Every structure is written in structure tokens, then in C-alpha cells.
Amino acid sequence: MSAPAPSPLAIVDVDPGKAPARQDEILTEAALAFVAELHRRFTPRRDELLARRDARRAEIARTSSLDFLPETAHVRDDESWRVAPAPAALDDRRVEITGPTDRKMTINALNSGAKVWLADFEDASAPTWANVIGGQVNLIDAYERRIDFTDPGSGKSYALKPAGELATVVVRPRGWHLDERHLQLDGTPVPGALVDFGLYFFHNAQRLLDLGKGPYFYLPKTESHLEARLWNEIFVFAQDYVGIAQGTVRATVLIETITAAYEMEEILYELRDHASGLNAGRWDYLFSIVKNFRDGGEKFVLPDRNAVTMTAPFMRAYTELLVRTCHKRGAHAIGGMAAFIPNRRDPEANETALAKVRADKDREAGDGFDGSWVAHPDLVPVARASFDAVLGDRPHQKDRLREDVAVSAADLIAVDSLDARPTYQGLVDAVRVGTRYIEAWLRGLGAVAIFGLMEDAATAEISRSQIWQWVDAGVVFENGEKATADLVRRIADEELAAVRAEIGDEAFAAGTWQQAHDLLLKVALDTDYAAFLTLPAYELLD
């Protein structure tokens, strides 16, 4: 690799006196030159694909339907192609832990006993500049085995276990829709996805190969096979740029949008030399259904989010099709999240919740998934037991082709097949959870414990989307109250007062509660539905 020319990227809106620690180690001239080249080559196509999303959404609004693509039927009908075989480090994925890349989580996730850690720069991480840079520092330090952490509250110290016991890292960069305003070329911000991918790949690709692993990624919020094609082009270019073999990068795509559910095979095909699997992401998937079919009438109105389990007919169609598709093409199928936070102070409630987690993971393993997600280290042995019981000594069950599965286009959007209705308490919960999550996000926290669950940005998205949908549809709850903007405002004001009473005036004033309240109401009630709440929220971040 030849020496790069000085990077034209400008670091903007960063006070030199308050720059994150060790920023210069990450933003080297060579690394910035690489990110700049990614930006020049691929951001124009990113922009075209974002515009294509808008056009497709307009078509869904017109038809209230989706179908498998006729123009790619030849890809689905061709039985011969498979994705590349999984590298050894990604062959057994029976338990994956997710979380942000802060220093404590980095250590705990790597030590957790999970096979994989989803190191998250996206939904579980608020993209403050300190988090963007700090996450890159923490991953390098972990690979160099020079990472430790002492909790300032408890004084407890954390350090890595022996290398052979550590989880394999799979990094999730930000979605295509988010820009990074702190890095700009000629006044144009670089997409956050290219910043997260570019800095991590440039600094760690060879380092990971030396450790017997590789640069592995989770690709979020993909909406079409054309977006997967763009990622594949980026991987090809990046591998050539740093001089490593094609196929070294491996990517797992989150099927967390309703449009992507109709293009699973095509997505794997576009990434076939770099693909390692697909994942079923529940909350973002439901958010995507509401977003795309929000004006589709009564039959698309979702009930309370907790009533939409993975056993709902349209969710079961989605997950079974995902397993069938992955195994047909030799890819891993990774199941959904167990977000419960164990509570040792209430053994009875704890065991009830753990029983639900076991049942969920037993179902996934029985359905043919090769692994699944958890949000807390204490859930790793629970999920592992479910998959151990099915897999035994095998690393996966890709030989289970699930040829019994037959899913129609209509099955995937049969929201009205679920026998449940929105409730007044569901509205209250959506306001409460949305407010509390957004408040923490604005303070730089992306993974937040709320009412016994580990929540991330997808939680806030489904919460505000359901509020929007219920108000727009004029839902009448079981208590006779109608979902209106005034009702939502009343509940939000009551929640703000309740929080103040709960935490006290001083803590309330130190937080971002009023901003969170106002932002939730904006993205939940504005007639012009915001594509992602993180877009207006990002303008409020440091």
C-alpha cells in the first residue's frame, strides 16, 4: 500500500481542548485518507439508494402491499449458488451478546462466554464524538490486550480472560441514513457507516488476521439487495486498498426492515463472497412495518409491542423464511434478542422471566436457528443450554433445510392475523419508555436499562411509531379513551412530573428530560413522519 496523500477530510465541531482521549491515534493521516476515499467513491451511490427508499415507501403508500421482486426471480430460482464457507471464528455462533463499545462493556462482552460479541456503534450506542472515537480505541486496546477498567462507583476492576476464551468480535456500524457531522469533505459530512467501518477496518484488518480472525461486520437497517451490493463493493475496494485477500471480510445482515424480508436471497447473493448469515431483529422490524404501512388502514395497526411475540403468525412467517433462506444458501441464521436484565433481588420474578427466555431460545433452536442474541452476560448460559440441547457438538444446524416452510408475500404483512388490540396501558408504556430512552440517549447512552429490560434505539423507534400510528388511526382503547395528540401530550406531561418526583429536582435538572419529552412528542405527533428519530436527535448531541 503506497503512502497516502494528506487527507482532505476536515474535523469540524470538535473543541481541540475537549477532543476525546487518544483521538490522534484513530484519526491518523493514513486512516483519514482511507475514509476520504470511501466517501468519494461510495457516498454518491449511498445518496441514490436513500432516495430510492423514499420512492419505494411512496409506492407502498399507494398500494399497501409488497411482493417478492419479479426482476430477481432468477436469483431465487437458481439452486446452485451458496455463500462462502464460514471462517473458523464464525462457524459456531450459538450465543451472541450485544452491546456498545464502551470500555466496561468491551471487557464484559469478550469475557461473557458468548461465541460472538456484536460490538455496536449503531442502536446501542449514541453517536457522540466521544463514543465514536472511544469505541475504536477500546477495540484496538482489546486486541492488543492492554485494556482494563475500574468502576468509579464500586471500585471493582475488570480485565480480559485468556485469549482462547474471548468472544469473536462482529462490529455493527451505523446505518446508511446517519451522517457523521464531525468529519466532512468540502462541507459534506461523511456517512457514519463509512466512518465506523473505515476506521475499524483500516486499523484492525491485519491485526485481526494476525490473531487468527478477521474483520467481521453486522450490517444494519438494510432495505434492499442494492444496498447489500453497495456494501459488497466497499468490501472489495477496502480489501484491495490494504492488501488483504478478497473474502477476508465477512458480513451478517440484519433483516430488520420489512422490505429486506422480501429480498433475503438476493441480499445473500450480492454478498455471497463475504456473507456469513442473516439475523432476525424484532423491534426494528416492527418499526419498519409501521413506518412503511402507517397509512395502510386498520389491518396494519399493531397492538402493544409486548403483545407482538415471535409466535405471531406474520412474525413466524418472517423467522421461518429467514432460516429456510439461510440454510438453502449455506449461511447462518441468527435469532432475536433476549433483553431481560436478571434481578437477583427478586428470585421469583427473576425465574419467571428466565423461563420466558428459555422458552424463546428453545423455540429458536428447535426452529433451526444456529444461534441467538442476549443483552446480558447472565443470559449467555441460558441461551447456550437451549442451543447445546439441539446442536450437541455440532457448530450449527445448516443441514436442516426447512423445506417444509412455504411463505407467501401476503403472509409477511398479515398483521391482522394477530388477535390483539392496542391498550391504554400500552400507550402509557410507549410514552414512558420512549421518554426515558431518549433522555439517556441525549446524554450519550445507547444501551439503557428501563423497567427490567435492556433497551436500545429500536425500542424508542417502535414506541414513537406506535404512538403515531394509534393517533393517526384514531384507535379507541378498552377504557373508552381515543388516541389523540392531546391524550399523548397529557400522558407525556404526567410522565415528566413523575420522573421529577422519582429522582428529585437536582437530578432532573442535570438530565435532558425536557428535551426528551419535546423530541418524543415531535417524532410521535408531527404529521410529517420522521424516517428515523435519531436524525433530529443527533442535532442535539455533542
Please spell the DSSP secondary structure of 277-338, one letter per residue. Answer: EEEE-HHHHHHHHHHHSTTS-GGG----GGG--TTSHHHHHHHHHHHHHHHHTT-EEEEEEE
Closest by CA to 467, choosing from 528, 520, 399, is: 520
Report whether 89 contacts 115 (CB < 8 A).
Answer: no
Residue of 174, 402, 456, 464 marked catalytic: 456
User: Phi and psi of 47, rounded to 5°?
Assistant: -60, -40
- Torsion 414-419-424-429 (CA) sign: negative
Overall pTM > 0.75: yes
pLDDT tens-digit readout, 454-499: 999 999 999 999 999 999 999 999 999 999 999 999 999 999 999 9
CB-CB contact of 9 with 40 (8 Å)? no
Give the active site residue among 172, 294, 316, 464.
Answer: 172
Sequence-ordered alpha helix ranges (H) in 112-261: 129-143, 192-210, 225-242, 258-261
Interacting residues of 329 by C-beta distance below 8 A, sequence separation 6+: 81, 82, 83, 265, 268, 269, 272
Known catalytic membership, residue 486: no
At residue 281, the pLDDT reads 82
Closest CA to 396 of 470, 443, 472, 333: 333
First to last CA, the chain: 35
Domain ranges of the chain: 16-410, 421-538
Spell out the residues 6+ positions from residue 78 whose beta carbon is closer than 8 angstroms to its own. Answer: none
456 is catalytic: yes
Report, as ranges of residue numbers, the positions in the chain whose pLDDT lies below 70: 1-7
CATH hierarchy code of domain 421-538: 1.20.1220.12
Record: fold of 16-410:
TIM Barrel (3.20.20)
- Tens digit of pLDDT for each residue in 406-449? 999 999 999 999 999 999 999 999 999 999 999 999 999 999 99
In this predicted structure, what is the pLDDT of residue 2? 54
Q: Whose grid coordinates read 482489546? A: 142
Maximal C-alpha separation, the chain = 70
Under DSSP, the state recorded for 470 is H
Tell me the residue ranges of DSSP E strands in 36-178.
95-100, 116-120, 148-150, 157-159, 168-172
Q: Distance between CA atoms of 176 and 191, rounded to whole angstroms?
A: 7
Question: What are the E-state strand segments in 339-472?
Answer: 371-374, 448-450, 453-455
Backbone angles phi, psi at 289, to 5 degrees: -65, -45
Cα-based distances in Å from 509 to 125, 443, 495, 504, 536: 23, 13, 15, 9, 22
Looking at residue 334, its pLDDT comes to 98
**Distance, CA of 135 to CA of 351 (rounded, Å):** 34
Helix axes 192-210, 129-143, angle to 10 degrees: 10
Contact in structure between 135 and 100 (CB atoms under 8 Å): yes
| Grid cell digits, residue 220 | 444494519
